[in-house]
Structure 1
């Protein structure tokens, strides 16, 4: 399995990070892709990338909820890092209108700028869009580059939204919400080709059932794979093989 989105550098794992990673490898996880948040998370993320070369792969980007007054300074730091390390993607970037809309205009500017950086470096983007799917779509269409692609991380939208994301050339990142009774993905996943899905946990957040409400960890991606298999009436092994190939295809487009 390829875990396409996990914050394993988080302080939530400070006490047992090595054990958590051991459980992930034991569960069959081959790679963990790490999204960045802001300049404050880079060092911890890069320590893991250096400790586990080829297994813990970093992205670089400014997360929308970290876009504040100093966002331009933060973007320059991201740009500088892009020039000196072979990141797999620009992320996580996007729009978040759930917590606070104070910096909505700055979020839009930061997203478009980071899309430009991604294309300059021939990278895909890892999108965070909370309460902002269509606003994010509008920005992608405004950017207007058909070669821009990537993942809508933690996809929890409708079938119409899923089809729109796919039409734009993006994969859907499916995580623990797929296991929630009222998560809504039971009305989406059965109708979306497996070739358009990748697996993630977003650890330490959004743990799947039966761990909902507790700390999430990478090994729980196995539960996500099983849920997708159940919804699509396929074997878990087929889900793992196809979604892992989908993820690998993103890396090969560099």
Structure 2
């Protein structure tokens, strides 16, 4: 059994004091594959260092997070473009629209999102979407960019059953993490109506820890709680959940 965490910010400052221990705890639980989303150029060197230390386990993405779309966003997009040109990445992400923190940047967030989708298509890479209070805006962009080269993951999916089906219609898998264990999370009410072939697992660590760790720093080893919850929802063994979702991640990332 191999478990894949398709979204973890292991380079975050929150892991600076015990990063190796955090990784070891995960590896000891057969969590062997970690996909690392980008935020902005400030984190590129620490992402590369993480990959250098764990070359068999860490798979990097490149992208500009929507909350980092500021006045200098064109410089940041140039950094993304330059990095994609010089080395291998496994996705363009995380990218998207976030209207929770700042609605005033919607126009440039949309521009950055579209630009990076086109970069992903150029390099035949999946996209990994960040969506917060922006389902309609995200879907509008996907509608305009939709073709056979568009595919990826709708990271940290927290929408409705109808939104889940719409995301899947754009060749997106649903990234399911700690929210599925929350009493008021909502997605546990319909998730088993979604075929498991559309699901990948994630933690989004250090954020969104599952029960019983909710409110604490999240880490990849806690993905076990997500596996256990999905095993209950789908009436399958944890091993089957791990195997199927890992195969789904291979389909997306090509590794």
- Alignment partner, residue 250 of structure 1: 252
Partner of 2:58: 56
SS at match of 1:240: helix
What displacement does 1:177 show?
Answer: 0.3
The answer (yes or no) to whether the contact 2:146–2:170 under 8 Å persists in 1 is no
User: What displacement does 1:51 show?
Assistant: 1.4
Contact 1:3–1:32 (8 Å) recurs in 2: yes
Consecutive aligned runs of 4 or more in structure 1 exceeding 6 Å deviation: none
CA displacement, residues 193-245 of structure 1 (integer Å, 9 cap, x when unaligned): 00000000000000000000000000001110111111111111111100000
Which residue number in structure 2 is paired with residue 93 of structure 1? 95
Provide the residue aligned with 2:116 in structure 1.
Answer: 114
Alignment RMSD (CA, Å) = 0.9
**Does structure 2 conserve the Cα–Cα contact (< 8 Å) formed by 1:90 and 1:124?**
yes
CA deviation string 1:10-34 (max 9, x = no partner): 0000110000000010111111000
- Normalised by the length of structure 2, the TM-score is 0.97
**What is the CA–CA distance in structure 1 between the aligned matches of 2:51 and 2:76, rounded to whole Å?**
21
1:251 CA displacement: 2.2
Contact 2:41-2:79 within 8 A present in 1 as well: yes
Partner Cα separation in structure 2 for residue 145 and residue 76 of structure 1: 24
Cα shift at 1:121:
0.6
CA distance in 1 between partners of 2:214 and 2:253 (Å)? 31
Contact 1:3 1:199 in 2 (8 A): yes
> Is 1:143 aligned to residue 140 of structure 2?
no
1:110 CA displacement? 0.1
Residue in structure 2 matched with residue 160 of structure 1 by the alignment: 162
Aligned partners of 2:131 and 2:16: how far apart in 1? 28
- Displacement of 1:8 in angstroms is 0.2
Alignment of 1:72-221 (within 5 A): 72-221=74-223
User: Would the aligned equivalents of 1:162 and 1:188 in 2 still touch at CA under 8 Å?
Assistant: no
Q: Which runs of 5+ in 2 are unaligned?
A: none
TM-score, length-scaled by structure 1: 0.98
Q: Any gaps of 5 or more consecutive residues in structure 1?
A: none
SS at match of 2:192: helix
Quote the residue 1:3 is aligned against: 5
Distance 2:232 2:18 in 1: 31
Q: Report SS of the residue matched to 1:47.
A: helix
Aligned partners of 1:93 and 1:114 also within 8 Å: yes
